[in-house]
Amino acid sequence: MLNRRHFTAGIATLAFAGLTSCASTARGTADAVGYGPLRPDPAGLFDLPDGFSYRIISEAGQTMDDGFLVASHADGMGAFPLDRDRTILVRNHELSPRRVDRGPFPTPPPASLQAFDRVDGGTPVPGGTSTLTYNHRTGRVESQFLSLAGTMVNCAGGTTPWGSWLSCEESVVRARQESFGRDHGWVFEIPARHRGLIDPRPLTAMGRFKHEAAAVDPRTGIVYLTEDQQDSLFYRFLPNAPGRLAAGGRLQALAFAGGADGNDTRNWTSADFPARAERPVRWIDLDNVEAPEDDLRARGAAAGGAIFARGEGIAYGDGDFYFTCTSGGAAKLGQIMRYRPSRFEGQSGEAGSPGRLSNFVESVHPEMLNYGDNLIVAPNGHLIVCEDQYTNPVTNHLRGVTPQGRTYPLALLHAQTELAGACFSGDGTVMFVNLYHPGKTLAVTGPWRAVRG
């Protein structure tokens, strides 16, 4: 384990704290937020504040319990409490067919292996999920195995209140393209406690598009979905039977009520949706949601759907949903939207008391937020955002965001790759996060309750 020096001094002033969408971009602020300045990691990998430490618990190339390898391109991930000491993690691997060499199969697996799709009817498409069980007390991984096979570009997803992971394909490749046997662009559900590979059945009623992430409202069972396109929509899925997504339902796209102020939230050419603005919304029914022509977002926008700049991670906390728009904002450095559902969400009364969308954070400086991707609502109520930025040099952070929308650095990665899949153990003591490539999963511990702001 890579332990840091533990200091007893108080939290120091942050160099760039307090940069929000309505604040100055000047460096420095009189008010400290977060956990204090980052300290250099002796191993040169992952800088954290005083009192925090990390452990690498899983990495690409390790042999798992089933004989397959831990794949690379570790992306979205969900945490599920197993008992007092243990957490189950279900982890995506965002692999395309050309990345077979970074997948889980060192040799071609048997034809009997449960896989959604294969190339030329042979080798399974290398994307999917792996599941591991981590013991917080011993600091050891107790089991690790492949849980979804034959899918592609499994980017993000989301946990469900009933104990499963929704793994989302960010690809709309058609059957017979490049020798594939099935259409792609689906959501798959993986029960966290299932041992071994699941029977991979796509949830087709949730639409076919470049899925990014999903989050479920535990009060209603409604699923909210993001789409990774420069002109994406924000979707919700109203299940016929809450908790049973395979039973089907209705897919809708968010639009602004009234529509007089335009429907473009990106703010690239004009401030149609200014930072900190909030507007009431309505929802548009979508048809032909399996969209063989990949035209779902175009049809939704033509009907008045709001347009977003690369919707990515989404998380639920205290009744609200937060989702990132990676390249949104006038500076194209990213936005974080907040959706507050109606108290009549999905019911006939919501038109009179609609949900509301706000441009919660819009970055104006790279050290405020730089291409936010996956995110989570931490147990202390702050957001933790994984950066996936392309500026030179690549310096991806974990960024904290206070309930007031102020950002601060939480960690700095010294590797030419993105951070992804941040999630917490059920007791809130351990944060797990992925390093995308070569894939590694870290367990981070520290004084999480000592945050300011």
Q: Is residue 258 part of a domain?
A: no
Element (H, E) at 191: strand 187-191
DSSP 349: G
Q: Which two tokens stand for residue 165?
A: 């992971």
Among residues 204, 298, 302, 183, the alpha carbon closest in space to that of 251 is found at: 204
Residue 374 scores a pLDDT above 70? yes
Residue 385 to residue 398: CA distance in whole angstroms: 6
Among residues 209, 217, 289, 295, the alpha carbon closest in space to that of 249 is found at: 289
Q: Check: CB of residue 263 under 8 Å from CB of residue 255.
A: yes
Q: What per-residue confidence (pLDDT) applies to 390?
A: 76
- The more confident residue out of 176 and 62 is 62
Q: Is residue 68 part of a domain?
A: yes
Q: What per-residue confidence (pLDDT) applies to 120?
A: 78
Report angle CA 320, 397, 4 to the nearest 5 degrees: 110
Residue 331 scores a pLDDT above 50? yes
What is the band of 119 on the pLDDT scale with cuts at 50, 70, 90? Answer: confident
pTM score:
0.92
Number of structural domains (the chain) is 1
Q: What per-residue confidence (pLDDT) applies to 11?
A: 25
Q: Check: CB of residue 170 under 8 Å from CB of residue 210.
A: yes
DSSP 289-332: TT-TTS-HHHHHHHTTB-BBS-EEEEEEETTEEEEEETT-STTS
Residue 338 to residue 398: CA distance in whole angstroms: 19
Burial class from Cβ neighbours inside 10 Å (0-12, 13-18, 19+) for residue 280 reads: middle
Among residues 167, 163, 197, the alpha carbon closest in space to that of 185 is found at: 167
Q: Is residue 103 part of a domain?
A: yes
Q: Check: CB of residue 100 under 8 Å from CB of residue 126.
A: yes
DSSP 174: P
Q: What per-residue confidence (pLDDT) applies to 14?
A: 27
- The more confident residue out of 128 and 15 is 128
Residue 427 to residue 421: CA distance in whole angstroms: 18
Cα separations in angstroms, 154 against 143, 210, 297, 410: 22, 10, 20, 26
Instruction: Collect all residues with Cβ–Cβ distance below 8 Å to 377 and sequence separation of at least 6.
Output: 315, 316, 317, 318, 322, 383
Q: Check: CB of residue 95 under 8 Å from CB of residue 102.
A: yes
Q: Is residue 77 part of a domain?
A: yes
Residue 31 scores a pLDDT above 90? no
From its phi and psi, is residue 408 left (phi > 0), alpha (psi between -120 and 50) or beta? Answer: beta
Q: Is residue 311 part of a domain?
A: no
Q: Check: CB of residue 311 under 8 Å from CB of residue 227.
A: yes
Say how many residues make up the chain: 453
Residue 223 to residue 314: CA distance in whole angstroms: 11
Instruction: Collect all residues with Cβ–Cβ distance below 8 Å to 154 and sequence separation of at least 6.
Output: 75, 76, 92, 93, 94, 95, 127, 128, 129, 148, 167, 168, 169, 170
Q: What per-residue confidence (pLDDT) applies to 197?
A: 98
Q: Is residue 363 part of a domain?
A: no
Domain that residue 112 falls in: 60-202
State the average pLDDT for the chain.
91
- Rg of the chain over CA atoms, in angstroms? 21
The phi, psi pair for 351, rounded to 5°, reads -65, -35
Q: What per-residue confidence (pLDDT) applies to 100?
A: 87
For the segment 282-304, what is each residue's pLDDT rounded down to a tens digit?
999 999 999 999 999 999 999 99
Q: Check: CB of residue 327 under 8 Å from CB of residue 309.
A: yes
Mean pLDDT, residues 419-446 taken together: 97
Mean pLDDT, residues 130-137 taken together: 96
Q: What per-residue confidence (pLDDT) applies to 179?
A: 80
For the segment 151-160, what is each residue's pLDDT rounded down to a tens digit?
999 999 999 9
Q: Check: CB of residue 346 under 8 Å from CB of residue 354.
A: no
Residue 260 scores a pLDDT above 70? no
Residue 27 scores a pLDDT above 50? no
Q: Check: CB of residue 196 under 8 Å from CB of residue 170.
A: no
Among residues 10, 1, 27, the alpha carbon closest in space to that of 140 is found at: 1
Among residues 21, 17, 4, 75, the alpha carbon closest in space to that of 410 is found at: 17
Residue 413 scores a pLDDT above 80? yes
The phi, psi pair for 206, rounded to 5°, reads -85, 5
Residue 78 to residue 90: CA distance in whole angstroms: 5
Q: Is residue 387 part of a domain?
A: no
SS3 449: helix
For the segment 65-103, what is each residue's pLDDT rounded down to a tens digit?
999 999 999 999 999 999 999 999 999 999 998 888 999
Q: Is residue 176 part of a domain?
A: yes
